[in-house]
Chain A
């Protein structure tokens, strides 16, 4: 099995491309989390296919079932001579830092986190910009002037979603109220339904979630309500969650975060020996790293989309800045009123 292949690939020089090995370690969400792990893997898969790599040999993922698995998984891959190893998720920061030190000859990349090491590229996204845009959609679409936000576990990262969204809503609809709630759990669909039920029940008609599996519950609740004739919407996150909203069609739009683009691009750079070692690679609206889903035109009116486009240009041009933190949001609010 494996031993033969190893001998072979070590023995002969081979083409430049075929010798390159890239892998990723998922966080506890797993590779098919319908969220950023999956997205990252889709990027790698595309990269692998484009470069004729075989799965498990040339490109591969390892799944972590608990936090303690991150480091051994990273180390295993490093020892197995993968040239570039991704840690998906901010929780792996510390581990990447350590392992990068231990294996100075391998390259590493981390998503959603900045790690300062000479052989690590830090991939971040301006989630607040994409969230701003879906906030604009929400602010313009709401009929009740009341919208909701459901976060998973409160943290700096999720705050970026929250604040960008709130700013977008307020920018177009200063009278709106925004109901913000954290489930303190990324995996409780049950809590998701309960929170959404509370929000819709109290008058919100659009809920944006940045809550992983908990968000699934938000969808379920919205679908139930729509089925019963209520006019409610969900805004999806990370990937285009249009399908999650079917058959009742409750996905208004989604804030997409192109982790796949990131892993694809960074892998490509690495293979071309242009790996951005020690750098922060930030993906934003400008380079389509974040944005709103293409399917948005299904449910969002053309007027609103036109408005979104306006804001998009302003954000890219730097005419407005989407707030990422609570403090920045306070600042932003001063400009609105």
Chain B
């Protein structure tokens, strides 16, 4: 047990180190100075209250999209449609944020709820089609992403009435923004969403590990045949899992609409939040705490990448290479285990000889 926990921590840490090493090598090949690169990268990640604020701010939506992907994974499903669900959640939150005038304690929760419900409804589609028609959820989700993209723009134009690329700003009563947090972090865009993110991670853990529903969802995820024999409704669970996953995704959209951007822009391409969520979920081993940590790391590297551009003139694409390398190394945990075991084995033998 002990050894297991040890390796579970050691491997991500080693992976991060090796990922950075890969980054350094690529920097050298590209003719850049790795020391300067990394110092401005870290500076930009955590080097100032501003950096920390932006890192946490950027982590919030990733926590949600990561949880969304992880939740589906834990129940045996691949929700590659988080991207589209984020967009739908975002537009719903902004709609409520703009079109209602309510006291904050009603308005803000209402806007968040709207995001969750809209995204859940979006996620219902692949779940339902899988359950009823055996349609592979991966294709449906991919298709639903594109549909979301165009539908969102159409809603922004025809329902919210955007003519000039961007919605008006949401009413303050629906905003997650906090002048206090912003000031504290030298005008980063840190907002109250980070608290909701932490809360969501706890809820995620709670649903899966503590509730009866979680027991059932995980059982179906592991073995749907046995679950069916045991009297669980596989179809209901598939749909439910997608719907809950969609709710997390919707929250990611709410973070963007009510926290970071206070509105929404007509978008011609995907936000990337959903796709990054896949990597975050997997790096975090689909556990609540893992997802939170992975999201912070991702966000930090992304934000730090901007500073790296400024401080060392290194293109921020490099950050993508580093993140990818880290994920590949984490995924290759078996190889690490093997090497670690070999290393330990050799050492033990060495000791025995003496």
Contact = CB atoms under 8 A, between A and B. Distances in A.
Contact of A187 (B153, B261, B268): B268
Contact of A94 (B166, B303, B317): B166
Nearest to B305: A65
A70 B188 CA distance: 12
Contacts, number: 76
Given A62-B309, A102-B187, A91 B268 contact: no
A71 B188 CA distance: 9
Contacts of A2: 36, 311
Nearest to B310: A76
B224 to A, nearest CB: 38
Interface string A81-111: 0000000001101100001001000000000
A153 interface: yes
B18 interface: no
A334 interface: no
A274 interface: no
Given A65-B316, A66-B272, A184-B150, A155 B165 contact: yes
Contact of A68 (B150, B164, B260): B260
- Contact size class for A? 35 or more
Nearest to B33: A1
B268 A90 contact: no
Nearest to B256: A68
A93 B166 contact: yes
A67 B264 CA distance: 10
A1 B163 CA distance: 47
A319 B116 CA distance: 55
A155 B311 contact: no
Interface string B4-24: 000000000000000000000
Contact of B268 (A56, A63, A94, A185): A185
A148 B163 CA distance: 23
A94 B169 contact: yes
Contacts of B153: 153, 184
A245 interface: no
11 contacts: A1-B36, A56-B313, A68-B58, A77-B310, A153-B153, A155-B164, A156-B163, A156-B165, A184-B150, A185-B269, A187-B269
Given A94-B263, A184-B153, 14 more contacts: A2-B36, A56-B313, A63-B315, A67-B261, A68-B260, A72-B188, A73-B310, A76-B307, A80-B310, A91-B165, A91-B166, A155-B164, A157-B165, A185-B269
